[in-house]
Structure 1
Amino acid sequence: MSLLAVDDTVAGYGAAENILKGASLRVAPGEIVTIIGPNGAGKSTLLKAVAGLVPLKSGRITLGDTVLTNLDPMSRARAGIAFVPQERNVFGALSVGENLSISSFLAPAEEGARVTEIYERYPMLNSKRKALARTLSGGQRQILAMAMGLMAGPSLILLDEPTAGLSPKAAEELFDAIVSLNRGGLPILMVEQHAIEALDISHRGYVLVSGKVAAEGAGQDLARDPEIRRLFLGG
């Protein structure tokens, strides 16, 4: 049973050459699924296509019983999609608390309960709730960005290279936070540059090459496949 089904998606930017050339994937309830592949393979484009930020030229995307294909990004957010971009994912001039507050626009009546839940889940955010987001460390900003996505009460969260630019220690802590979030029941679809580490915590993974899925399988199986490591993971 699939929560998210992406079928034969073709997409690009404007009239340029298509970046996605028939890519398909599945995310089941409760899964972490990671997309890996070389630069320019279309990994982030695929996430943005699911979020509605890149329109499809053909193909179909569904979330549960809802067909997302022709919905705008706001409608997809209301359907249960939360997208956390790689960059510019927090409002630096606003406090941590204000970032969370403005992220409750889909369900303002739930703001108080969700903020309380997030502060319990991430005590660091509670301790820094009055601090400006721009004063947070890179890892702390990524936690805040994920928490902002959670304010909508999503049924699936999309993470675009969440550990980009982080130190090894901060990246490890963020992976721990992702696993903890998933253990709470939230499915996660992510693109990640630390491919081996990401696959190790993933239920399944996809290797995207030139806009198409070149391989798929259990996350740890992909991480240990010699050919996958040689071609895409640096040996």
Structure 2
Amino acid sequence: MATPLLAVDGIIAGYGAAEQILKGASITVAAGEIVSIIGPNGAGKSTLLKTITGLVAAREGRIALNGKDVTAEGALGRAKCGIGFVPQERNVFGAMTVAENLDISGFQEPGKVRERSEALYERYPMLASKRKALARTLSGGQRQILAMAMGLMNAPALLLLDEPTAGLSPKAADELFEAIVTLNQGGLPILMVEQHALEALEISARGYVLVSGRNSREGAGTALAADPDIRRLFLGG
């Protein structure tokens, strides 16, 4: 079996000295995949993404990217290894323009900021038309596109998205899902935590169900979306 792009094995992590949110969670992401993590509130989904990015330290377990153990790396080290992250909240600088948000996000390779920002303006014409606008003036959907574009400025090998459609209208959420699929079709693997679990699973190659910090189920995204137990427990149907 080919080495997965991302391998997360037996992660135990939490925020306080005695608090344990993740209790042995394990996932993999292969090249070219969209993988979704679903589960009830408090299951540890966002904590798992933050642990993968190095924002939360793993107490036990191993995280490897392209076969390289990055468990001891901090957040900056993991970003340099190719892990990009778009958090759910405070993911843009509201008092800065769209252009400034993109420029500041290309910190790893300053010499490529202009080239990459221009490519993103071409990919997302809305950003080009609003490049001089303050980020706080954007609609919710526009802010999420900007946040995702910021995550792309360092050309990550893997993009992590935490609740990308949170707070968006149904139309804006659909448009964002389309943008995620288009990114993936261009070759970028994506690991996503998403509140709209059914929609996320339907565009995912595989999915994981996390419950109380542990793996509960995993399988093909469409198969999980169609499973009556999964729909009843997590999808409201």
SS in 2 for 1:223: helix
Show CA shifts across 1:89-133 (max 9, x none): 000000000000001110111111101110111011001000000
Give 1:200 shift: 0.5
Give 1:16 shift: 3.0
Report the AA paired with residue 205 of structure 1.
Answer: G
SS in 2 for 1:229: helix
| Other-structure match for 1:196 | 198
Write the mapping of 1:170-181 to structure 2, written as runs, cut at 5 A: 170-181=172-183
Write the mapping of 1:130-149 to structure 2, written as runs, cut at 5 A: 130-149=132-151
Give 1:65 shift: 2.8
Correspondent of 1:208 among 204, 210, 222: 210
| Other-structure match for 1:121 | 123
| Other-structure match for 1:56 | 58
| Other-structure match for 2:12 | 10
Aligned-partner Cα distance in 2 for 1:30–1:17: 35
C-alpha contact 1:94 1:132 (8 A) present in aligned 2: yes
| Other-structure match for 1:67 | 69
Which structure 2 residue ranges, 5 or more long, are not aligned?
none
SS in 2 for 1:125: helix
| Other-structure match for 1:220 | 222
Report the AA paired with residue 216 of structure 1.
Answer: E
Report the AA paired with residue 177 of structure 1.
Answer: A
SS in 2 for 1:49: helix
| Other-structure match for 1:166 | 168
The percent of aligned pairs where both chains have the same amino acid is: 71
Report the AA paired with residue 143 of structure 1.
Answer: I
**Structure 2 residue 106 is the aligned partner of structure 1 residue 104:** yes
Report the AA paired with residue 87 of structure 1.
Answer: E
C-alpha contact 1:84 1:158 (8 A) present in aligned 2: yes
Report the AA paired with residue 50 of structure 2.
Answer: K
Correspondent of 2:78 among 76, 79, 82: 76
Report the AA paired with residue 93 of structure 1.
Answer: A
Report the AA paired with residue 13 of structure 1.
Answer: Y
Give 1:17 shift: 2.6
Count of aligned residue pairs for this structure pair: 235
TM-score in terms of structure 1 length: 0.99
Give 1:68 shift: 1.2
Which structure 1 residue ranges, 5 or more long, are not aligned?
none
Show CA shifts across 1:150-173 (max 9, x none): 001100010000000000000000
Aligned-partner Cα distance in 2 for 1:91–1:66: 32
Correspondent of 1:21 among 20, 23, 37: 23
Give 1:204 shift: 0.5
Q: CA RMSD in A?
A: 0.7
Aligned-partner Cα distance in 2 for 1:168–1:8: 36
Show CA shifts across 1:47-88 (max 9, x none): 000000110110000000321111000000000011100000
C-alpha contact 1:66 1:79 (8 A) present in aligned 2: no
C-alpha contact 1:204 1:219 (8 A) present in aligned 2: yes
Correspondent of 2:87 among 72, 78, 85: 85
Correspondent of 2:231 among 224, 229, 233: 229
